Structure formats: C-alpha cells, structure tokens
Structure 1
Amino acid sequence: MKKITCPLRWILFLFCFPVVGSYVCAQDSVSVLFIGNSYTYVNDLPGTFGALAANLGKELTIDSKTNGGYTFQNHTTDPLTYSKIHSKPWDVVVIQGQSQEPSFPDVQVNTQTLPYAMQLSDSIWANNPCSNVMYYMTWGRQNGDSQWSEINTFEKMNTRLYHAYMRMADSSDRAMVSPVGRVWSYVRANYPLINLYNADESHPSLEGTYLAACTFYTSLFRESPSGSDYHPGIGAGEAWVLQNAAAAVILDSLDHFHLHPVDEPTQASFTLVQNGDTIQLTNTSSRATTYTWDFGDGQSAITEDAQHTFGGNGIYNVQLIASSSCNTDTFSIQVTTLGVHDHLFDGIKVKTSDEFIELTSSGGTFLIRTFSIDGKLLTEQSLSNKNPLMISRINQFQVLHLTDSGGFEKVIRIF
C-alpha cells in the first residue's frame, strides 16, 4: 500500500492558517464551491480564479472548504464539508483528492479513493440535482514520487493522475474535469523556464496557481482567458503564456473533459456500432432521467439503450433526446446503410470503450483501416482469428473499413 506524505514545511503551515474561506466576486451569477486541500488554498486558488474571472467580466460567487492533506474519504466524514455543500444550491462544486492518492495502484484507488469521490458527487447532487460536479485534476510532483516505480517521475505520476481523474469523472455520471495536470504538463514541455512549483517540489508557485486559475476559467466558461491584465506577482509575458496554454489544451477537447455549459448539466450522448442495416446504440448520456430515440425512419423508442434494424438502404438521422428536471439535450448521428455482402463479415465482433475499439474474428483474414471524419487514413492493420486488434481511440476516428480476402468491403461507423 502506498503512503500519503506531506512535506514538513507544509505540515507546519497547515496548522497555522485558517482553511475554510470564501471569496465573493461581483453578483451571484454562477456559484462555485471548492472542496479540496492545500493544492487549492496555497496562494488562494479560489480567490485568484475569482479575480481573474471578474477581470474578464464574469460574475461569480465562490466559497471553499479546504483542509491540508485531506483525501476524498476525509471529506466524506467531515460534517463541515456537508455543511458547505448544503449551504446553497451550487452551480458547480469542484472536488479534489489528496495530491498522491489518485496515482496509487488501481486496486488501492478502487477501494480508498473512487468510492469516496463518488459519495461526494452523490451528496452534491442530492443537495441540488442540477449542480455540476467538476473534478480538479492535479499534477505530478516535480520529480515524481520515489516510493513506487510507476510514479517516480513527473511524467509517470502525471499520467496516472490523468487516468484516475478521468475514470473518477466517468464513474460519477461523466462529471466535468478541469484538467490542470494536462495544462501543467503542456507548460513544462513547452516553456520549461516557467517554474510552476514551490520549493517543496509539490505545491504550486504563484505561476502554478495562476495556471490552475486559467484552467478553471477555460473549463468553466469554455473560452480563453487570454487578454486578462490580472496577473498578481507574475510578469505579463508569463501570464500570457499560461492563459494561452489553458486555451490550447482545453478548447479543442471540451467533449473529452465533459465540459458543457453550466446551465446544461444533462447531456445527451451515445455510442453507435453499425453492422449492415442494424445499429446497436449504447446510451452514454449524463444526468438524464428520460430518453427518446428517433431512428429517422418513422420509428422510435423510449428505452435507455436501443437496437434498430432499418428496412432498406438510405441515409438516416438517428437522434437521442435526453431530459431531466434541469434541461433537455439532443444528440444525433447520421447513419448510411448499404447492406451489401454483410454475411461475409458475420464472424467479426466489435466492442467499444472510451479508450479502445476491440475487434475479434472467428475466421478469415481482414484488412482493417480506420479513417477520420474528413476521410484521412489513420491506421491500417490485419485482423484474423489469431490476431485480434485493440485500436486506440485517441484520434477519435469515426469510420472502420473492413475488407475481406475477396475484396468485398464493409463500413462500420463508431462514435
């Protein structure tokens, strides 16, 4: 079992300063509660974020509940945390684990971290079902954590934190993620002269806190903080770099980090696997209570997931309407059916996940090519019963082309 450690200078600091604070910025337009620990209160991240947002014309009310070294589990057993959650119907509640705990072995995270993160999320939604939970993805220590070889460098630790926070968000009904650790990595790689760390090589410097504030601004408002002249304690040039780093990492990946408008907590989405005239639809919507499918051919369904077979060749707009007491959202995918030589591909099975597409074959050899939505060839590989394939979805490809030994081709669209 990996141990949580806190540098001595910060242990002393934690007992000398108040850890629960509030910061009000302009009118109560968007309310944000931060629940975390010293990675939040050192250099006053909530206050920095609030002042940055105010400088850019946003209206916020911000409060925080932060205790040094606190884990998710610590917060679930602290009545003061629940008191903060219940103090108002928050628009956004940011939750953050202890800096090391999400990077520990999966078996440990599964029992000591994930259940408590989900418990906090459920408590937030019980207080206000229209609240948005936002995970604060933290960063790896400057030189990693030496107690375990899997996290003994920044890159290793940061990668494990990334995967853990994304998994926690997915497990919490696809909660939002503010990817501070991802932006942190981008700045380290591209602007190594900007020091993001305090002397303890763990907590943020002023630049690190400002980077986190820029990341939260971009995540919450889905726009760049570039142009703000609020940058206390750091130079204008460095501030410009950090502002634009947040925008560069996040704005092209809003869906990946589940970053939607704050007033639209219910989000419709689904994955689709097409085999000839038949489509298998898996509902991946978040914060929804009712679902309506429109298959584009006059047929519909109100089940959570769906399967449908079209009566003939054509182009169909398959639409999902997901609703809750908060809002209604719509998501659609266009499906083209051809149905030619489909029987030649009956032995191919396709399984999808957020990260991979798995293809297996019960017989025969096939050429598998993946294409982007604009027709760019991404990968080309061979599939056989002795050679199953795991294809990464990192490129977010949209189309699989399967070709058998006779030259017959089948198209499978996967979203």
Structure 2
Amino acid sequence: MMVRKTTLLTLCLLMSCCLTKAQNILFVGNSLTYSNDMPQMLEDLAEMNGLSVQTMCLCQPNYALEDHLNEGTVLFELASKPYDFMILQQGPSSQDYGRKKLFDMGGKLAALARQNKAKTAFLMVWPAKDYYQSFDAVIENYTDASHASRAILIPLGAVWQKLNLEHPEYELYGEDGFHPSQLGSFLEAVVILKSIHPKLEVTTLKTDFRTEGIKDDESMQQFLNAVSKYLKK
C-alpha cells in the first residue's frame, strides 16, 4: 500500500513538473519588441496566470530580419538550447520592398527554426501615426508572410487598429508616434500570450499592470474585454 502511494505521489510530481515546464521564446526583432521591456512584461503576465515563459531577445534598433540573418546570431542561439517558439518582427513592411523581405527572410528564419524543432510566429506590428493609411497593407503583408512560412500569426496589429478606431481613450502609441506606450507594450504581451496559448481566456487574465487610463480593476477589465472581442473577430 505504501509503495502504491509513493508511486502515485511520484507520478503527480512528474505531471506537475510537465505542466509547469517553462516555454522558451526567442524574439528576433527590433525596438518595437523590446520597448518598455515587453519580454519581461510577457514573463510576468504568464507567471501571474500559472504559466511559465522564459524569453531571449535578439533585438536591435532599426533591425530588419535580413540584418539578423546576416549577423548569424539567430542560428547560434537556436542551437544553444531548445526553444519552443521563435517570434519574428521587423518594421511595418507595408511597401513592396518590405513585403518581399518579410517573406524571403522570414521564410529562411522559419526554416532554421524547424531544423531546431522550434515553432515560428510572425508578430504583426503597426505603422507610425504619420503613415496610418498603410495599416491595411501592414496587416495583409504580415498575414500573408506567416501563411507562406507555415507559421503562427500573432495578430497584434489588427487588434491595435480596432482599439484605435473604437476606443481612442486607449493611447497605444508612445510620444514619438511610432513606438508603443506602456499600454501598447502590455497589449503586445497579452496578444502574444494568447497566441501561444489559444485556450487562454483573455477576459479572466490576472494582472497588476497599471498605466495612464488603466488605473483600477474595473478599467483593466474593460480593456481586456475589448481586446478579447477583437481577437475573436
């Protein structure tokens, strides 16, 4: 009887370890990813909701995916330890040149990820306020590039666009009209977490994040409700 109890206890411990195994995420991008230390926001949000995420950010100012490929650091990092996801991001890529680079370089990086048993995701971004009219092209190009590379699409830009249109009270842009505000980076973390955990319910996320316009539990709940609605569209 004691042996059986010990065996059951061991199995439970093993199952617990499996359930809480950290997901390793490699970010390959630029300042639209690392602004406001978004990767750390993602780790904190995951932890508060019973998940474990560890991030590594290969992100440099003004870098495109081609720059990362030319440096060779992505391949080295993928080979250094097992990653579950590699999340790719470059600029808005609304023009033909940016679209082509997103397809070509994204495809090459996705192939490297597959060789190292990691899933690839494209993090759809947003245009600067001065080029807001290009938003639909940003959404289209990131969507098409993710499909071409057989990758996961993280539809951040699409959610960003809808929030801007229907909830102008949420200031997602930072002072320069391009990089994210604190709230914009938090939105980024929420959409990424939902994209790698599709069964996660955004409306019930636990978070202690507060910023301008999100000062209490009620306003945070309203924000999460809006994000959840747009993720389902």
TM-score band, normalised by the shorter chain? 0.7 to 0.9
What is the match of residue 55 of structure 2? 62
- 1:22-72 superposed Cα distances (whole Å, 9 cap, x missing partner): xxxxx5432211111000111011111111111111122222111111101
What is the match of residue 193 of structure 2? 217
What is the match of residue 229 of structure 1? 207
8 Å CA contact 1:194, 1:238 repeated in 2: no
Does residue 164 of the first structure (1) align with residue 141 of the second (2)? yes
Equivalent-residue separation in structure 1 for 2:162 and 2:125 (angstroms): 13
- CA gap of 1:73–1:191, structure 2 versus 1, over 3 A, is same
8 Å CA contact 1:94, 1:134 repeated in 2: yes
Matches within 5 A, 1:5-404: 28-97=21-90, 99-100=91-92, 102-105=93-96, 108-109=97-98, 111-128=100-117, 131-144=118-131, 154=132, 156-173=133-150, 175-222=151-198, 223-227=200-204, 228-233=206-211, 234-236=214-216, 237-250=218-231, 252=232
8 Å CA contact 1:224, 1:243 repeated in 2: no
The AA in structure 2 aligned to 1:162 is I
Q: Which runs of 5+ in 2 are unaligned?
A: 1-19
What is the match of residue 258 of structure 1? none
* Offset, 1:225: 2.9
Equivalent-residue separation in structure 2 for 1:239 and 1:86 (angstroms): 39
Q: Could you say what secondary structure the match of 1:44 adopts?
A: helix
8 Å CA contact 1:224, 1:246 repeated in 2: no
8 Å CA contact 1:141, 1:157 repeated in 2: no
* Offset, 1:246: 2.8
8 Å CA contact 1:92, 1:134 repeated in 2: yes
Q: Flag as ranges the 4+ runs of structure 1 deviating above 4 A.
A: none
Higher strand share: 1
8 Å CA contact 1:34, 1:64 repeated in 2: yes
- CA gap of 1:241–1:212, structure 2 versus 1, over 3 A, is farther
Q: State the TM-score, normalizing by the size of structure 1.
A: 0.48
Equivalent-residue separation in structure 1 for 2:84 and 2:179 (angstroms): 27
Q: Could you say what secondary structure the match of 1:140 adopts?
A: coil
* Offset, 1:238: 4.4
Give the CA RMSD over aligned residues: 1.9
8 Å CA contact 1:56, 1:225 repeated in 2: no
8 Å CA contact 1:138, 1:181 repeated in 2: yes
The AA in structure 2 aligned to 1:215 is V
- CA gap of 1:113–1:134, structure 2 versus 1, over 3 A, is closer
* Offset, 1:79: 2.2
Higher helix share: 2
Equivalent-residue separation in structure 1 for 2:69 and 2:226 (angstroms): 34
Q: State the TM-score, normalizing by the size of structure 2.
A: 0.83
Identity over aligned pairs, percent? 22
* Offset, 1:232: 4.2
Between Structure 1 and Structure 2, whose CA radius of gyration is higher? 1
Equivalent-residue separation in structure 1 for 2:226 and 2:79 (angstroms): 35
Q: Could you say what secondary structure the match of 1:204 adopts?
A: coil
Q: Which runs of 5+ in 1 are unaligned?
A: 1-26, 145-153, 254-415
Q: Could you say what secondary structure the match of 2:107 adopts?
A: helix
The AA in structure 2 aligned to 1:113 is L
* Offset, 1:110: 5.3
